Amino acid sequence: MVDVLKAVSVLLSGAVDYVLPPICGSCREPVVNSNGICGKCWADLTFISDPCCVCCGYPFDLSVEAGAFCGECLKAPKSFDRCRAALSYDDKSRDMIIGFKHSDRTYLVQLFTKWLSLAGKEIIADADFITPIPLHPKRLLTRRYNQSGLLAQEIAKKHTKNYVPDLLLRTKNTSSQGHLSQRGRWDNVRAAFQINPKYKEMIRGKKIALIDDVYTTGATLEACSRTLKKEDVTRIDAIVLARVLKEGGS
Ligand SMILES: [Zn+2]
């Protein structure tokens, strides 16, 4: 068990430098620019921008008055204050994110951090602590890195913010959520997280920014936010790389 903890701690510390290779982060063709993605792939991505739901960040087709909530947030108010996403999760962004998550294409962290920084500018400015949605230690050992941890660490480094890799602990090794319905996803994750007891005092009265790669139904973010809400934190915000956008609105 000690060895496992040691390995997890090394993985969490993540003292790695990422060198952006001269290939497109999406199609992997050579690129001459230093943006990490070729012009064609960049044009195929769908970036999310205002106007959007003041809480969950779901984009609206038409302009609305500032501070408007989407139907989903009105129906079931969220435990977090704000979430913003950089990209729509679609065929184009999915390939890049899966490559980042499962295929060691960790150099993409630089490109993704740029996009997360733009989407979550206000959230980052407000945050006292930046922390990732955690993986269960067993899954971390199999995957070798937490993709959300790499993003959170790089955002904190870029903006000189406090990075806390293990503020939340994933105490339940939940099954893969890919095939689950919204209700199934919630049942799967609702009791999966705990606050790391060593940070309970530290986060009192503070603003927390959670970082994740993909927002599908929001169940994981909601479970983490409910866990944090039991502590006396001032704000819970989140920035995600991509979110699933449903046809016809949220
Ligand atoms: Zn919303």
Q: How far apart are CA 138 and CA 31, in angstroms?
A: 37
Exposed (0-12), middle (13-18) or buried (19+): which is 12, by Cβ within 10 Å?
A: middle
Both tokens of residue 79?
Answer: 């435990």
Q: Against a cut of 0.85, is the pTM above it?
A: yes
* Residue type at 139 in one-letter notation: R
Condensed to tens digits (0 to 9), the pLDDT of residues 58-84 reads 999 888 888 899 999 999 999 999 999
Residue 239's contacts (CB-CB under 8 Å, 6 or more residues apart) are 83, 84, 85, 86, 116, 119, 120, 123, 124, 155, 209, 210, 211, 212
Condensed to tens digits (0 to 9), the pLDDT of residues 211-228 reads 999 998 899 999 999 999
**What is the whole-number distance in angstroms between the Cα of residue 36 and the centre of ligand 1?**
31
**What is the whole-number distance in angstroms between the Cα of residue 170 and the centre of ligand 1?**
25
Please report the pLDDT score of residue 18 as a whole number: 58
pLDDT, averaged per 10 consecutive residues of the chain (250 residues), comes to 44 51 82 79 92 95 87 95 97 90 85 96 98 89 89 97 96 72 73 92 97 93 94 96 74
Q: How far apart are CA 246 and CA 250, in angstroms?
A: 6
**What is the whole-number distance in angstroms between the Cα of residue 200 and the centre of ligand 1?**
29
Please report the pLDDT score of residue 27 as a whole number: 87
Measure Cα distances from 135 to 143, 168, 185 in Å.
9, 10, 16
**What is the whole-number distance in angstroms between the Cα of residue 153 and the centre of ligand 1?**
27
Q: How far apart are CA 87 and CA 65, in angstroms?
A: 23
Exposed (0-12), middle (13-18) or buried (19+): which is 206, by Cβ within 10 Å?
A: middle
Please report the pLDDT score of residue 102 as a whole number: 83
**Complete domains list, the chain, with CATH:** 45-243 (3.40.50)
DSSP 8-state assignment for residue 23: B
Both tokens of residue 198?
Answer: 């060593």
**What is the whole-number distance in angstroms between the Cα of residue 50 and the centre of ligand 1?**
13
**What is the whole-number distance in angstroms between the Cα of residue 2 and the centre of ligand 1?**
43
**What is the whole-number distance in angstroms between the Cα of residue 57 and the centre of ligand 1?**
6
Q: How far apart are CA 33 and CA 61, in angstroms?
A: 33
